[in-house]
Structure 1
Amino acid sequence: MTEPGLFELEAVVVGQPKRSRWRTYVGPALAVSTVEGTPPAWVAYPDDTYSVLTKTSGEFIVGIEQFGPVEFRFTDAEGREVGTAGARGLVKTQQLSLRTEQGRRLLLTRPGLLHSEWHLTETDPEESPAPEIFGRVTVSTIDSWIGLQQYVVEMDPRLDASERRTVVASVVCLHLLRRPPGGSATPA
């Protein structure tokens, strides 16, 4: 039996890999794992405005290009746009507006500043009192001394693989927006 593909999974974990406190870390910036802990992919930051999500074998999955402080474009191996994410408002990690490869609009919204969970919906929770939730992203700190973050991404079975790719890429963007300038591991 073959393992399901990364974007066939209903839940994945995007997190900063554990690292030694005393040595310089040289691994990937983020690991994308199954809930059981098997890492099928990881994220590297070749420069300040570009991130690459690849399988652990090195096969390219999606590129994440940052335009300005809060706009992101997702591209495939041929450089074609396969989605976008962007934030607006004073609190840049309150809501991300996503657009999938097929043009579907989704919102990743945190209900309040003190919440550690974001909801994936098609309608803005401020405009619709009870929007249908297509997924959840829950953040936690896995090492408080270093400040390493982990995001558990749960997605509705109705989302197709390309929509799930956009959601996982947007969680990478969320992590980029939450980390302070200078690339420190401590969240913003």
Structure 2
Amino acid sequence: MSTVEGTLLAHVTHTDDTHSLLTKASGGCLVRIEQFEPATFRFTDDTGRAAGTAGAGTFIRSWQLSLRTERGRRLLLTRRGHLSTEWQLTETDPHRSPAPEVLGRVTVSTHDVWIGLQQYLVETSAGLDAAERRTVIASVVCLHLLRRPPDSSSAPA
């Protein structure tokens, strides 16, 4: 993971089919991601404390991730349709309530279809604290895990 300018911020390591590790560029652990069932994820910090969750209704072609931060705040990462490349971060479902406040966006672009190389641009508002932003970043790793082609467990994000 890096800034738009290319400054390295963090590394994602997929340790096996159900565990991933998000570490700072300096090497310290940011969050461990554990996958349960096809589309349910739990985040823990370097001490093993709960740091959030993410879950989707279905494994294939999911259009919404339901997030819960370590303090219990519920957020939704939703895209308008299956072909949309932008996910909106809100507290209410944009499909059910008119014009919810957008707290952030995740825009996905594909750089190499053959190897599954994708880029995720994450923007968040000042209304999120550091722990909430960490949950959002971890959920982007989950988005990649849900969106990658079958049998591509080593495809980079």
User: TM class by shorter-chain length?
Assistant: over 0.9
Whether 1:112 aligns to 2:81 is yes
Give the direction of change, closer, same or farther, for the CA distance of 1:92–1:103 in structure 2 (3 Å limit). Answer: farther
Quote the residue 1:170 is aligned against: 139
Unaligned stretches of 5+ residues in structure 1: 1-31
Q: Which amino acid aligns with 1:134?
A: L
**Paired residues of 1:82 and 1:101 also in contact (CA < 8 A):** yes
**Paired residues of 1:105 and 1:122 also in contact (CA < 8 A):** yes
SS at structure 1 position matched to 2:103: strand
1:126 maps to which of 70, 74, 95: 95
Q: Could you tell me how far apart the structure 1 residues matched to 2:101 and 2:145 are?
A: 27
Q: Which amino acid aligns with 1:47?
A: D
Quote the residue 2:105 is aligned against: 136
Quote the residue 1:12 is aligned against: none
Give the direction of change, closer, same or farther, for the CA distance of 1:69–1:128 in structure 2 (3 Å limit). Answer: same
Quote the residue 2:71 is aligned against: 102
Give the direction of change, closer, same or farther, for the CA distance of 1:57–1:96 in structure 2 (3 Å limit). Answer: same
Whether 1:60 aligns to 2:14 is no
Q: Count matched residues.
A: 156
SS at structure 2 position matched to 1:34: coil
**Paired residues of 1:94 and 1:109 also in contact (CA < 8 A):** yes
Q: So what's the TM-score if we normalise by structure 1?
A: 0.78
Give the direction of change, closer, same or farther, for the CA distance of 1:90–1:47 in structure 2 (3 Å limit). Answer: closer
**Paired residues of 1:101 and 1:162 also in contact (CA < 8 A):** yes
Give the direction of change, closer, same or farther, for the CA distance of 1:89–1:66 in structure 2 (3 Å limit). Answer: closer
Unaligned stretches of 5+ residues in structure 2: none
Give the direction of change, closer, same or farther, for the CA distance of 1:123–1:55 in structure 2 (3 Å limit). Answer: same
Q: Could you tell me how far apart the structure 2 residues matched to 1:145 and 1:81 are?
A: 36
SS at structure 1 position matched to 2:131: helix
- Matched ranges for 1:4-153 at <5 A: 32-89=1-58, 91-153=60-122
CA RMSD of aligned residues (A): 1.8
Higher Rg: 1
**Aligned-pair identity (%):** 67
